[in-house]
Structures are given as structure tokens and as C-alpha cells.
Amino acid sequence: MSGGIPHAEALAAWRARMPAPARALALPVPELLDCFHPDHRPGAIVPLRVGASAGLPCRVELAALLQSDSLVEDVDIAGAPLLDADVLVIGGGGAGCVAALTAARAGARVILATKLRLGDSNTVMAEGGIQAAIGDEDSLQRHFEDTLRAGHFMADKALVAALASDGPGVIRWLIQEGMSFDLAEGSERMGGSLLRRKPGGATAARLLSYRDFTGLEMMRALREAVLLQPGITLLDRHPALELLTDDRGRCAGAALHDLAQGRTVLARAGATVLATGGAGRLHIAGFPTSNHYGATADGVVLAYRLGAALREVDSFQYHPTGIAWPPHMEGQLVSESARASGAALVNGLAERFVDELSTRDVVAAAILREIAEGRGILRGDRAGVFLDTPGLEREKPGILGRSLTTLAHLAQRAGFDAAAEPFLIHPTLHYQNGGVAIDPDGWSGVPGLLCAGEVTGGLHGRNRMMGNALLELVAFGRRAGHAAATDARVERPRNIGLNHLADWRRALIAQDLPLTLKAPMIFPPYGNFNMATERGKAA
């Protein structure tokens, strides 16, 4: 841990100087990111040595999984129970639910397989809101340009255009599905207009929310819709071990593991949608994470082994305001809604040191710079900076109880009053910026395989804007679900198996990569879950 200012001393300085005076960043953004963003640390990146994206820079932790052998052999699927569907959706978070709903409503027979339970996902942890250009002063073009700029102009413009153009329709669809949104104060007597705030990196107020648990409210509505929708067979606690192929090289479904029965189950489908989420539980660069327990990069691993191309797999997002103290809550998010509402970031000298509504990569790197250069705040063996929630409450009395209820509950669990004492925060691993390369309908380039949500790459470039993740999972979940249902009507899998694994294993051997490393991970190592042992119990 770097040097810094003891918590009691920093707290006294904050109380004496509040509101905190601003200090100029005084460092060009490219230099700030190069010097302090975790993606740029020495030894963090290696080139991939096998697969469709050989040579592509990749985080070393993820590269190990991408260049691993399968958990499954032919003998493991021989005689396994076989389920049939038109569309298989893997992943029970927001993108998976939307894809399954869309495909089923288009007339497809759908299997929805989840690793944990329906809704256990990063979607429920998305607190800040969802972007959509619905304001009179806003436009689809501004949303498009803001997203490109936030991603350092590295995003696929066709994907960004699809996202921005789908935004208003997504909000209407969510309201029709029963999702609630905050209304602007005083608008109720006029029928109610949606409350909009300005997210970090945006040029207009287009962030829509439901208090500070927008993702939870979205997942509530989607989960209820899935459970009521005819044509969807739900397989809870069935993680995917391997994708299946037919004799033409098409994706033909997946080998799933039934955790309750301890056995392999084959799900055969004309089209497969991967919506498995991100990689936070890899704890990239040793960071704590805001991600749910099952976020172990499974979908990216399986798609890559099947021949899908990847992009930006060297780029991860660290949310600026993860809890640093107390230690048992480390990594949990303090919603960006706090900063969008006006909460300041303050260092140990009681200075504001960054525009709190800059893009997340800039804010996170600025916090890490304060800590590295000795202006951070030390408490026990943790370092961070203050999020000035008392200052926000003074400026907007009642906001913590009215709009930021999750934040207030977090403070209560941490043992203090957020209206009287600031949070000690530190960046936390939050989002996988890259992933499987797709087109605007979710096609991966591998016949029969589509992807939606955080498992994909190309939409966010090298940094995601707040609020675009919830929009992405609905926009591209709908697109992938529709495309999958259409494709499944004309394509039926035949002679399914693990035909792709022989070539994959030859490629690993040719590069002197071990066949002893198996993936996907399924659960993080500290879960003490070993898939080989688990499958052995059923033998």
C-alpha cells in the first residue's frame, strides 16, 4: 500500500474545508491513463497464441482461460439426456431473458439455461440507470457521438448506431413489460414525465433510473415476463461446459451440467444465443469486483474455442466508487447516481481532484493517481478517497432517503450515517469492455451462434459509458432473439458432437500450450468447486 493520509486526519481536514476546493487535474488524459489505469500496468497484456484472434492483445488472466482445453470429452456426452429446441439461450441475466422472450414471442421453442438461478447476474447490480435519447434537447446523434467519444473512438460504429437508435423504443418496451422509472418532480399532475440526469461523459441529460437500483427493477420485470411466457423451458443451475457443433461446423447447442443431478445434459438447438455476462470474478489485476459470483468469462471462452473472433479483450472497466472500507464490503458499488446527483470526490488533503462526471476510466485512474502519489486516505490496510455524500445531502436535503436508498443502506451496513460521514471508496473491477465480435443482429461469425450483452465486444470501445450496459442488454437481446428465431426456422442441427475440439487441441499442442488447463472456470477458485470432481460423483 502506498503512503497516504490517515483516515482521522483526512476526516478532520474534510470537515474543516467543506465544501472541498477543486484542484486542476494538471495531467493530459492519455498520460493519466497510461500511468495509472490498471490495463496499462507492466506485464498485464500478452498476445493470444491460438485461435481466430491469434496475435490479439489480451489480459494475461483471461488469456490463460482462452487458451485452455475443454472440460468435456466425447465419452462425457455419450448417452447423455438430449433436449431439443429451436433456440438455446445460455445466461439468465437481462440479455438472456430479453433474447428468450423475443425468440419465444416470434414462435420459437426456447430453452433458457442459467448457471445459477434466473436473474442471478450483473444486471441486478446495475444501479445508476439506463441511457436513451428521449429529451427534446437530445438526439440519437448526440448519444452516438458521446458513446464513441467515451470509448476513445475504438467502437464499431454500426453497433453504436444500433444502440442509440434502439434507445427510445427500448424504454417504451420496458414500460410495457412493467418496469418502473422515476418521474420528474412535479410532473405527476401532467401525467408524469421521466426524470433524466446527465451521466458521466454525456452532453445531455439522458440517464433514466428507478431510484438507485434500476437494474434490480429491470430484472424484476424481465424475470416475471419470462416465467409467464409460453414456449420457454427454464433450466436453472445448468452452466454450459462446451458448445456443440454439427458436421457442417455450425453451432448446434451446448453440453450443460445439471448441478442438482450432477450429470451432463445436451441441449440441441438450431440457433444458440450466448448471454453469459462478464469476467469480474477473474479479479483482473488483483482488484476486488462488483460482479456476481458466476461472472467467470465462460461465454467468451466457449465462443473462442468454436472459432469466434474477439476484440478489446485487453480492456476492462474499473468502476470509480467501490467500497474500500469496511473490508468485508470491499468492492461493492456506491452507485454512480451519487456523482450524477452531485456528490464530490475528495482526497486526503480535502481537495476535489477530478471532474466527477468525466468518463469512468478517467475518474478511476485519477483516484488511483491520488493514492499512488500519497494524497489518498488510509484506513487500516485499505487506501482510497472520500465520496462526499454529506455534502450532497446538504445541497439536496432528503436525497439520500428519497432517491439514493441503496447508498444509504450500504452505509448503514458499513456502520455509519452517509449524511454525516463520507464513504471511503476505491475503484473496483466492474465491466468487460471487449469480448466476442458481433454484427448489429448479434451474429458472431460462427454459423448458428449469436451473442448479446457483456460477453460481446465492439460496442463500448475501450471504455463504457454509464447507462449503456442496461440499454445494450435490451437492445441487443431483442436483436439476437429475433435473429435466432428467424434462423432456427430454416436450420436444423444434424450429427451433433464435439467436432471442433480435435482441431483446437492440435492448435494448443502446436504452440506448446498445456492440455492440463481446463476451462470454462464455472465458479471462482475460492468457491471450492471442481467440475472434474463434481462430474465424477455422478459416474
**At CB < 8 A and 24+ separation, what contacts does 18-21 make?**
18/350, 18/388, 18/390, 18/391, 19/344, 19/388, 19/391, 20/344, 20/346, 20/350, 20/351, 20/352, 20/388, 20/391, 21/350, 21/351, 21/352
Return the closest-CA partner of residue 152 out of 464, 466, 462.
Answer: 462
Q: Is 379 a catalytic site residue? A: no
Return the closest-CA partner of residue 122 out of 161, 163, 91.
Answer: 91
Q: Are 183 and 491 in contact (CB under 8 A)?
A: no
Q: What is the DSSP letter of 153?
A: T
> For the purposes of burial, counting CB atoms within 10 Å of the CB of 395, is it exposed (0-12), middle (13-18) or buried (19 or more)?
middle
Phi, psi of 483 (to 5 degrees): -65, -40
From the list 360, 379, 478, 479, the catalytic residue is 360
Tell me the C-alpha distance between 526 and 120, whole Å.
19
> For the purposes of burial, counting CB atoms within 10 Å of the CB of 74, is it exposed (0-12), middle (13-18) or buried (19 or more)?
exposed
Return the closest-CA partner of residue 325 out of 334, 315, 337.
Answer: 334
What stretches of 307-378 show up as alpha helix (H) in DSSP?
337-341, 360-372
Tell me the C-alpha distance between 83 and 491, whole Å.
17
Cα torsion through 486, 492, 497, 501, rounded to 10: -50
Q: Which residue type sits at 55? A: G
Residues with Cβ within 8 Å of 25's Cβ and at least 6 positions away in sequence, in order, are 32, 353, 354, 355, 366
Q: Which are the catalytic amino acids? A: 360
